Chain A
């Protein structure tokens, strides 16, 4: 053995549920609010406190909002060093907080930054981490049981972390629902200092572009394009706009850069739950369909009658999307006028 290993304290010393509150400097990400909704329930079951953890620069105003969404307590680390996410500085700050306060559960959104942090932090804290979970429960003995999707979403493994603490999970965006914000919810805000300095950042941001912040997980209506569109999303966009909804895509279209990753549905994208989802030109890979299963009504359009997407649809249209979408757009537009 070359790499160092140290001993950790015992599980009984850990108490409370923590949610790492990811934000963009101005607003909390929806996934953070979603996790808080679920974490509130877990805290109640465990009869313990729910703490939100905010790391950033000039983010004090987010503490109040966190309480409206369910936190009893918010820990705020406000430092210019933590302005944008950096693996080293954020991991160091979180490790210091966890070691000092010892939460039994730590939940983090399964965003790219959230996963970048969680994977590193779990090893530093010598604890177990479940990834991208879609279910969270407390068992009879008070352990967290996390539902981890595997094999493209076809199987959910219920996973525990028995001996080490905190029990960490990253949580898939779009799976849980936030609480209705309630201004009368009270709690305490504590500002904490951690030992991070310029030397801890260890990366330089050369460029940073955040174009748009769409949230397809909340959309009431979604029109989704797959590779069958050939990358031409004009009709998809038109219909989505007329329906007052958003545009979704399968992974290859996001890979090709036709739209940002924020529009991507599936195991490596978002899970959605609209009232109506129209999907055109997608074959229905399991990694994709596991993201649309919570939709109320699904209409699928595909030229191939045998396409697996039809097994996941309420209404199946075997036809060319370029022939069916224009008259459908006409119908919807007609009703708007």
Chain B
């Protein structure tokens, strides 16, 4: 292995789920005044990358595809400890589904070059597909370990990841370069360092690559490069509930609840 690890962390900025509303007239998503955040799972991926760097040395590079508004959030990642950030930003990237997204991200990984490990979040909170990570791994033809809670490099130089599977977990080993998707909630992402934050905001310049710089064909990215299209949006309304408040002492409430559920228990 060379000196330290070169780690790319794929990160996306997403609207906070509670803030997203659908315009009932047009059935489109209202994005104005929505508060954004770094996607939670991506933050855990970044923390995992920083921990590996703390242990083995090397560098952590943030990679994101999205509009210029992502910049501020990537700088927060820099303040947390990432060394560099690349933002793929171009109108031509807009409207990408997971196929076109994973292609663009994979091309960027190739361009960054010499990468040992790509870390992703298990899924984004806006599209929650979890498809981008395996997609990127396939484009790059590298092994993947998805839904990982613990990650280390074994003495044999292979990557070992503990991943959750139906009913339990498995620990698998693969050769690097490899891609790992990180589960939500597996670590506590560190706070941005105050001094780094000032530096990131004032002096640090992230790399912004348009499609020319990335060197890809327009028909391979964005809407033209996508295989799926949204036909229409439906607001997934929760069914109306009775919302009846049960009052009294805890014992009285328990009794009332029991009377309510009793008929269902006997059937």
Contacts and interface: CB of A to CB of B under 8 A. Distances in A.
A260 B168 contact: yes
Interface in A94-138: 111-113, 115-120, 122-124, 126-132, 134
By secondary structure, the A interface counts as: mixed
Nearest to B98: A129
Contacts of A221: 264-265
A125 B129 CA distance: 18
Contacts of B238: 289-290, 293, 311-312
B230 A159 contact: yes
Interface residues of A, number: 108
A41 B253 CA distance: 45
A192 interface: no
A275 B244 CA distance: 18
Nearest to B124: A150
Interface stretch (A43-51, A60-68, A161-169, A182-190): A161-169
Interface of B: 15, 17-18, 20, 22, 29, 97-99, 102-103, 106-107, 110-111, 122-123, 125-135, 137-140, 143-147, 158, 160, 162-175, 183-186, 215-217, 220, 226-236, 238-239, 241-246, 250-251, 253-255, 257-258, 260-262, 264-265, 267
B17 A211 contact: no
A210 B215 contact: no
A128 to B, nearest CB: 3
A314 B244 contact: yes
A1 to B, nearest CB: 5
A248 to B, nearest CB: 16
B130 A255 contact: no
Given A1-B107, A150-B126, A318-B245, A297 B261 contact: yes
B168 to A, nearest CB: 4
A154 interface: yes
A299 B163 contact: no
B54 to A, nearest CB: 22
Across the A-B interface, the 3 shortest Cβ-Cβ residue pairs = A128-B227, A119-B134, A152-B17
A331 B107 CA distance: 63
11 contacts: A112-B166, A119-B135, A128-B228, A131-B131, A152-B125, A155-B233, A155-B234, A163-B227, A205-B170, A213-B167, A316-B243
